Amino acid sequence: MSLEEVAFLLLAVVAVLTAVAALLVRELVHTIMWIAVFFVDLALIYFLLDAPFLGVLQLGVYAGAVTVLLLFGVMVTRKRIFSRGAATGIGPVPIALAVLTFVFLVAAVGELPQAAVAPQSYTPSALSATLFGSYGPWVLLLGIIMLVGVSGSIYLVREGRE
């Protein structure tokens, strides 16, 4: 077992455990701390896969911006932020559905072609040349969707709207 395999196994276990912990702990603020650990853990997996730009993006966008946004949302919407309310019991049907989904997704592994090649790493400059070159329209679409999303968000939360 190589060092990378051990590192990946550790990171994978931590990822699943933190995701489950985030959804099951009682305090909402603790949930957000767990999900921050989850995002950082995924960033480490991206670094392990030789994708440094994606790793930095994950750290900046998810561990940075999304975590702070979620914290902000919790602080604004709850009078006592250390309380959950609305927690429900865990029935058998959601667990069965989740397990079924997992089995269905992992069952596809036999259909994959065998990738025997070593993982390749791409420099951020090569990635940006592709992203803004042949995939420029997608970046443009992303910008338009972000603009519409921000406008819609401002419309939803502005003062005096009834």
Partner 1 sequence: MTGLNEVGFLGLSGGLVAVGLFGVLTRRNFVLVLIAIEVAMNAAVLNFVYFAAFAPTPSAGLAGQSAAVVLVGFAATEVAVGLAIVLALNRAKGTINVAEATELKL
Q: Which of residues 66-125 bind partner 1 (CB under 8 A)?
A: 66, 69-70, 72-74, 76-77, 84-88, 90-91, 93-95, 97-99, 101-102, 105-106, 108-109, 112, 115, 117-122
- The number of residues in the chain equals 162
Cβ 109 to partner 1, closest distance in Å?
5
Residue 144 lies near partner 1 (rule: CB under 8 A): no
Helix intervals (H) in the chain: 3-24, 28-48, 52-57, 67-77, 92-106, 124-132, 136-157
Expressed in angstroms, the distance from the first to the final Cα of the chain is: 62
Cβ 132 to partner 1, closest distance in Å?
9
What would the two tokens of residue 148 be?
């519409």
Q: Site size for partner 1, by CB under 8 A?
A: 86
How far apart, in whole angstroms, are the C-alpha atoms of residue 92 and residue 107? Answer: 22
Residue 59 lies near partner 1 (rule: CB under 8 A): no
Cβ 133 to partner 1, closest distance in Å?
9
